[in-house]
Chains A and B, each alone.
Chain A
Amino acid sequence: MKIKKIIVALLVGTLTATTVVSASAVALTDKNPDGSTEVKARIEGSQPGDVSYIITIPEKVDFGTLSQPTTDSDSNKYVDFDVEATKLDIEARSAVSVFVKDSSSTDGQFYLTQQNKENPFTIPYDVYTALITNDNEIGENTPVNVSDPSESGYHITTFLSNAEGETQDITLSLNQKKLYGQNLDDIAGDYSGTMMFHTALTTLGG
């Protein structure tokens, strides 16, 4: 009798702990990019008349630990991800355009902002619609945020109706040169920014 009560109590306690861990696993912001627990998120759109699409974007992208360069020269750090047309149930003459902008920026640029600081330090980063892994490739590409954004943001790709399953490479580039000459004690800490994605169903001409 007692043993059964203990078993039941243990089970309830284990379940409670497991539920808490499950919730916290989704909410974790792992500083170490290895073994991170990001979950791919989705933007769903629907139009009357059985038209629907799903564009998949990552929930989180991590630059990892930034380094302060010893010289006042470019020191780019790159991180890439995919934007995927997971589902495209749209008419043949339609397409899904994807836009992106910074959630809080006032000048249209993308920034990482120091957390939990009264006067936070900000670090800009650029967005490229290509896979870039070194400084040689960066010269061959232009970031999307060099032009003026539309109300929806910067256009990064358009998926045609037959492009289901295709992906668009996106690379974020952060120049650590911004950290040169700064007091590490002042700029140390966690940084975050938010990229807002917007999708729009468009009808092609012709």
Chain B
Amino acid sequence: MKKIKIGKCLCLLFVIVLMLFTTSMTTFLSYTNNGSTKVIAHIETAPTETNSESNTVVAQDNNSTSTGDVTYFYVSVSLLLLMISILVIIGTCLKKKFD
């Protein structure tokens, strides 16, 4: 019975480590590049208010590149949750072991 419980705890830990690895790889891959930049645009189907002056539209698009702050946030949250879950699971397993 105890062996089964320990086994379950180990499985959970393995899943967590796997997710941590996946998150790290995702972050790593987002920061390595084969030297290419993707250029994108969009055209709407509905008639748009046409304007030969594009200055105002350009002003909205000047911040089209950012530093990836959102990615940092998601990775930080992921790591924090992983740390907390590891502690909770270890605590749960230890408590079960000593009950």
Interface residues of A (CB under 8 A from B): 4, 7-8, 11-12, 14-16, 18-19, 21-23, 25-26, 29, 31, 33-44, 57-71, 73-81, 103, 110, 112, 123, 125, 133-134, 172, 174, 176, 179, 184-185, 187-199
Task: List 18 additional contacts besides A12-B16, A61-B39, A193-B39; criterion CB under 8 Å.
Answer: A15-B19, A15-B81, A15-B82, A19-B22, A26-B29, A39-B71, A40-B68, A41-B32, A42-B33, A43-B33, A61-B40, A73-B52, A78-B58, A123-B41, A133-B55, A190-B40, A192-B38, A195-B37
Q: How far is the CA of A64 from the CA of B50 in the complex (A)?
A: 15
Question: How many A-B residue contacts, CB cutoff 8 Å?
Answer: 231
Contact B42 A184 (CB under 8 A): no
17 pairs from A and B in contact (CB 8 Å cutoff) = A8-B89, A12-B85, A19-B19, A22-B71, A40-B31, A40-B67, A57-B35, A62-B40, A65-B44, A65-B48, A67-B54, A77-B58, A79-B62, A187-B43, A191-B42, A192-B38, A196-B35
Give A69 to B32 CA distance when docked, in angstroms.
39
Name the distance in Å between B7's Cβ and chain A's nearest Cβ: 15
Q: Judge whether A22 and B42 touch: CB under 8 Å.
A: no
User: Residues on B close to A: CB < 8 A?
Assistant: 12, 15-16, 19, 22-23, 26-27, 29-33, 35-52, 54-55, 57-58, 60-68, 70-71, 74-75, 77-78, 81-82, 84-85, 88-89, 92
Query: Which single residue of chain B is at the shortest CB-CB distance from A11?
Result: B85
**Residues from chain B with Cβ under 8 Å of A176 in the complex:** 54
Contacts A43-B33, A58-B65, A78-B58; is A125 near B39 (CB within 8 Å)?
yes
Cα separation A112 to B37 with both chains bound (whole Å): 12
Which chain A positions have C-beta within 8 A of B77?
18
Q: How far is the CA of A38 from the CA of B58 in the complex (A)?
A: 18
